Structure 1
Amino acid sequence: MSEISTTATRLEPDVHTVRIESTNHDGSFHGKNISPAKFTACADSGFAMADLLFGLDLGNAPTLGFAYPAWRGHLADLQFRPDMSTLVRWAPGVQSVIGDYWQADGTPIGTCPRNLARMMVDRLATRGFTATIAVEIEATLFQESVHEARAKGYRDLTPLGGSAGTAYNLAKSKDWVDYMSAVVRRLEQIGIEWEAWSDEDAAGQVELNLIPADPISVCDNWARTRQVMREVAFELGHTVTFMAKPTAGYGQASHVNLSLQRDGGNAFYAPDGPSDTMRHAVAGLLATMRGATSVMLPQITSFRRLVDLSGPPTTVTWGIANKTTAVRAVVGHPAYSRLEYRVPGADANLYLAVATILAGVIAGIDGKLEPADPISDMAWCAPDLERLPDTITKAADALESDLILREQLGDEFVDYWVGTRRWEWMQFHTTGGDPFAELSEWESTRYFEFP
């Protein structure tokens, strides 16, 4: 049986639309709606998508001022290739599938987030390791519909569930519970398993935890979960944002938990604390952290979260069971020993964040790097600790000069990403951004709905 016939048999009889799905470098959810006949005919060869997918900013302007990779042309077509293992029934009559971007000659696009993450997973496998990750999805919910939010310029919105901002608060109004209950029901319908959801620190903020799994599956589930949360909000007349700091209050994060397995066991576990592999991994993460910050905090608003004592890490540090550091090590348990990478904001593209984290881990293991002593005290407000870059341009400069991440992620991605971040800085300063505001109207308009 041919691949195309196999694809045809996997479409359900009542399907009238197949939605192809991906994220671009900024983490926006993109795709096309395809007829079943067209999908069956082209699933093997791929679907044409203009290269502007990776060439437009979040304001829909073409990014300029830096060298384009060889595959960028005058609206040249890229090939979207579906990964049929991700085919699910999304809604009555609709199936959806996630895929990657390739050149016509079969070369993977170096800035395709899913390609980059898979490349790091494969590289880790050549060293005898598999990775398990988990992600904490944070979002802020508002009573207003997205249309009302747009009319108000995404400002002065009403938090869903009440104004209380203490974490784990169960005294929420019914609309809050109804929304999250609808979200998890939808996730279950499309086969995404979740572990927990709860009130977070800011008013209207929620944290949703998906089950740990292999990196690509978790990233796929992350992308789809955010889409589910948007669709449910629209259906219930509310709105949701994954903006790093949607109000002048608390920001929101996207912490990544990671463990490595080798020969059937947890490679991060040792009875007396961090294993050698965990120490090397930590050292690699610290060595690349300043450059990695550009990926973990991708937008102008991302850096407004970096305030001491407010939750996010602000220093290049690690500690054992220390949530004030950038990397928290959980040790002493054969199953649960892991690293929590606490830098990413809720606006980070998880595929790129995971690729960059794994790049640091691989470099640390390959070089048998050793980290500085873990921080046992509070890592905030410490004058003797190295600080994370606190602006989009400082972080871009750090990534541009990071030889480890260049080697692991490739010049094509690093140069392209740095160019887009400098473009973002220029747009902010020339099209209405206010660097002195707690949160400018420019940022709300640009980032509230995207990524």
Structure 2
Amino acid sequence: MSDLTQPTRGATAIRLEATNHEGSLLGKNVTPAKFASGKDSGFAFADILFAIDLNNEIVLGDAFPDWRGNLYDIQMVPDMSTLVEWKPGLDSVIGDYWLKDGRPVPICPRNMVRGLLEKLAAHGYTATAAVEIEATLFEESVHEARARGYRDLTPLGGSTGATYHLARSKDWIDYMEAVVARLDELGITWEAWTDEAAPGQTELNLAPTDPLRLCDGWARTRQVMREVAFELGHTVSFMAKPTAGFGQGAHINLSLQKDGVNQFFAEDGPSALMERAVAGLLATMEGATSVVMPQITSYRRLVDLTGPPTTVTWGVNNKTAAVRAITGHPKYSRLEYRLPGSDVNPYFALAVVLAGVLAGIEKELEPPAQVSDMAWCLPDDGVVKRIPDTMSKAGAALDADPLLREYLGDEFVDFWVASRRWEWMEFHTKGGDPFAELSAWESTRYFEFP
């Protein structure tokens, strides 16, 4: 199914879609007539979507700039290049948040990516990105999962963990085959899916494409995986650690092209441009952690020797480092940013990666020495830094990061830091247990979101 230029003839509703800051896919359904009347001027969404947490409570402690107020309306303007037939009778379209004076909402996730891509284009570069989405599948329906408080669920496909294992039960395989069939129908190009490390866990790889289109496909893929789980009587979670076992991430792969030529390729290893990009990603990584590991549970992933990076490091083909450089091929040379959790907002994840790359290029930064051995278990000795392992540490690092403030904007940084302080306070005052492997508060709050 290809993108549409106008709603399908049989559509009785068009679903308007966009994420909030938490990465949840929001929207409203409108009639074809209503859509025709507002597709150019936009549709009113209350600004409260940027002022509530995952428990639907008003977040306090952040400043209200001039575009925010007492349920002011902002405009969700659909991007017609994203219009697809979601299912018979229902089309869907993704849009951006704009102010009535024509300016983008400063913290609009999609517009942030677009703005950074325009900065890259000013240097003559285009970017190509791909993502590896991890999720955990459970036998129980979402209704039963809710009744159980999302605890003590049965992993779909078997109770043992493995990687690349083909001995999964048919229900697990049926689920994944149904998911990729839906992606094919929607025109979302995937490359592979496989069994991952934890019981019930899967990894689904979306193919390289323009970063903005990738984010759109990523957000829609999570929606597809939820809908298919519901239809089959199962449930799926993108929580960074839905059980006390392994966590799950979302690795981002990125390359830069100029005139169609991969600028990260060099015959003898990383190109000079790739090294600049690495330097920027490492220079911003401590602050970026707050954005790409957005929730309390995100930090429970950071355990040495279990998969996620724990140090601010890079290395050629080194999967224990936070940034893995894949070199030696004119087409496939790229950087793999291994830090994000599966709970990340796709647009914000790409925004911080693009910001780091731009900072490295424009500031002509030099990377530290690469790590050729194992990057886990290294001490924080002033030479190699540990990735911030709590929400508060990461938020403080973002607050103090001049590069991310420059490329993401003060308004976004101040807003995001305040929202994470609120999340930290909610956890510590509403029943969260920092000493548990996984607290009931976290399961209730994060299992179904983003």
Q: What is the alpha-carbon distance in structure 1 between the residues aligned to residue 229 and residue 5 of structure 2? A: 33
Q: What is the alpha-carbon distance in structure 2 between the residues aligned to residue 362 and residue 375 of structure 1? A: 23
TM-aligned CA deviation for residue 264 of structure 1: 2.1
Question: Which amino acid letter does the alignment assign opposite residue 443 of structure 2?
Answer: S
Q: 2:54 maps to which residue? A: 58
Aligned: 1:446 with 2:442: no
Q: Is the 8 A contact 2:4 2:84 kept in 1?
A: no
Q: What is the alpha-carbon distance in structure 2 between the residues aligned to residue 365 and residue 326 of structure 1? A: 19
Aligned: 1:77 with 2:77: no
TM-aligned CA deviation for residue 65 of structure 1: 1.1
Q: What is the alpha-carbon distance in structure 1 between the residues aligned to residue 27 and residue 91 of structure 2? A: 13
Q: What is the alpha-carbon distance in structure 2 between the residues aligned to residue 160 and residue 9 of structure 1? A: 39
Q: 2:138 maps to which residue? A: 142
Q: What is the alpha-carbon distance in structure 1 between the residues aligned to residue 297 and residue 148 of structure 2? A: 19
Question: Which amino acid letter does the alignment assign opposite residue 93 of structure 1?
Answer: G
Q: Is the 8 A contact 1:68 1:416 kept in 2?
A: no
Which of 305, 310, 321 lines up with 1:309 in the alignment? 305
Aligned: 1:222 with 2:218: yes
Question: Which amino acid letter does the alignment assign opposite residue 265 of structure 1?
Answer: V
Q: Provide runs of 4+ in structure 1 moved above 4 Å.
A: none
Q: What is the alpha-carbon distance in structure 1 between the residues aligned to residue 259 and residue 39 of structure 2? A: 36
TM-aligned CA deviation for residue 118 of structure 1: 0.8
Q: Secondary structure of the residue that 1:211 maps to in structure 2?
A: strand
Pairing 1:41-190 to 2, within 5 Å after superposition: 41-190=37-186
Aligned: 1:399 with 2:398: yes
- Distance of aligned partners of 1:114 and 1:99 in 2 relative to their CA distance in 1, 3 Å threshold: same
What whole-Å deviation, never above 9, does each CA across 1:198-233 have from its counterpart, x for those lacking one?
Answer: 000000000000110000000000000000000000
Question: Which amino acid letter does the alignment assign opposite residue 432 of structure 1?
Answer: G
Which of 20, 24, 29 lines up with 2:20 in the alignment? 24
Q: Is the 8 A contact 1:159 1:203 kept in 2?
A: yes
TM-aligned CA deviation for residue 396 of structure 1: 0.5
TM-aligned CA deviation for residue 69 of structure 1: 2.5
Q: Secondary structure of the residue that 1:221 maps to in structure 2?
A: helix
Question: Which amino acid letter does the alignment assign opposite residue 195 of structure 2?
Answer: D
Q: What is the alpha-carbon distance in structure 1 between the residues aligned to residue 184 and residue 83 of structure 2? A: 15
TM-aligned CA deviation for residue 8 of structure 1: 11
Q: What is the alpha-carbon distance in structure 2 between the residues aligned to residue 69 and residue 217 of structure 1? A: 29
What whole-Å deviation, never above 9, does each CA across 1:228-283 have from its counterpart, x for those lacking one?
Answer: 00000000000000000000000000000000001221100000011000000000
Q: 2:431 maps to which residue? A: 432
Pairing 1:285-304 to 2, within 5 Å after superposition: 285-304=281-300
Q: What is the alpha-carbon distance in structure 1 between the residues aligned to residue 86 and residue 75 of structure 2? A: 23
Q: 2:248 maps to which residue? A: 252
Q: Is the 8 A contact 2:291 2:344 kept in 1?
A: yes
Superposed CA RMSD in Å reads 1.1
Q: What is the alpha-carbon distance in structure 2 between the residues aligned to residue 181 and residue 8 of structure 1? A: 25
Q: What is the alpha-carbon distance in structure 2 between the residues aligned to residue 341 and residue 137 of structure 1? A: 13
Q: Is the 8 A contact 1:259 1:266 kept in 2?
A: yes
- Distance of aligned partners of 1:319 and 1:9 in 2 relative to their CA distance in 1, 3 Å threshold: closer
TM-aligned CA deviation for residue 9 of structure 1: 7.2
Q: 2:10 maps to which residue? A: 14
TM-aligned CA deviation for residue 45 of structure 1: 0.7
- Distance of aligned partners of 1:8 and 1:405 in 2 relative to their CA distance in 1, 3 Å threshold: closer
- Distance of aligned partners of 1:303 and 1:9 in 2 relative to their CA distance in 1, 3 Å threshold: closer
Question: Which amino acid letter does the alignment assign opposite residue 72 of structure 1?
Answer: R
Query: TM-score of the superposition, structure 1-length normalised?
Result: 0.98
Aligned: 1:411 with 2:407: no
Identity across matched positions, percent: 68
Unaligned runs of 5+ in 2: none
Q: Secondary structure of the residue that 2:231 maps to in structure 1?
A: helix
TM-aligned CA deviation for residue 148 of structure 1: 0.1
Which deviates the most, 280-289 or 7-16? 7-16
Question: Which amino acid letter does the alignment assign opposite residue 127 of structure 2?
Answer: A
Query: TM-score of the superposition, structure 2-length normalised?
Result: 0.98
Q: 1:363 maps to which residue? A: 359
Q: 1:388 maps to which residue? A: 387
Q: Is the 8 A contact 1:154 1:445 kept in 2?
A: yes
Q: Is the 8 A contact 2:120 2:126 kept in 1?
A: yes
What whole-Å deviation, never above 9, does each CA across 1:73-117 have from its counterpart, x for those lacking one?
Answer: 001101000000000000110000000001111110111110111
Unaligned runs of 5+ in 1: 1-6
Pairing 1:371-382 to 2, within 5 Å after superposition: 371-382=367-378
Q: 1:423 maps to which residue? A: 422
Q: Is the 8 A contact 2:5 2:81 kept in 1?
A: no
Q: What is the alpha-carbon distance in structure 2 between the residues aligned to residue 9 and residue 277 of structure 1? A: 38
Q: Secondary structure of the residue that 2:309 maps to in structure 1?
A: coil
Q: Is the 8 A contact 2:5 2:80 kept in 1?
A: no
Q: Is the 8 A contact 2:251 2:339 kept in 1?
A: yes
Q: Secondary structure of the residue that 1:31 maps to in structure 2?
A: strand
Q: Secondary structure of the residue that 1:251 maps to in structure 2?
A: coil
Q: Is the 8 A contact 1:8 1:40 kept in 2?
A: no
Q: Is the 8 A contact 2:130 2:252 kept in 1?
A: yes
What whole-Å deviation, never above 9, does each CA across 1:182-209 have from its counterpart, x for those lacking one?
Answer: 1011111111111100000000000000
Q: Is the 8 A contact 1:69 1:416 kept in 2?
A: no
Q: Secondary structure of the residue that 2:62 maps to in structure 1?
A: coil
What whole-Å deviation, never above 9, does each CA across 1:4-23 have from its counterpart, x for those lacking one?
Answer: xxx99712111101000011
Q: What is the alpha-carbon distance in structure 2 between the residues aligned to residue 122 and residue 46 of structure 1? A: 23
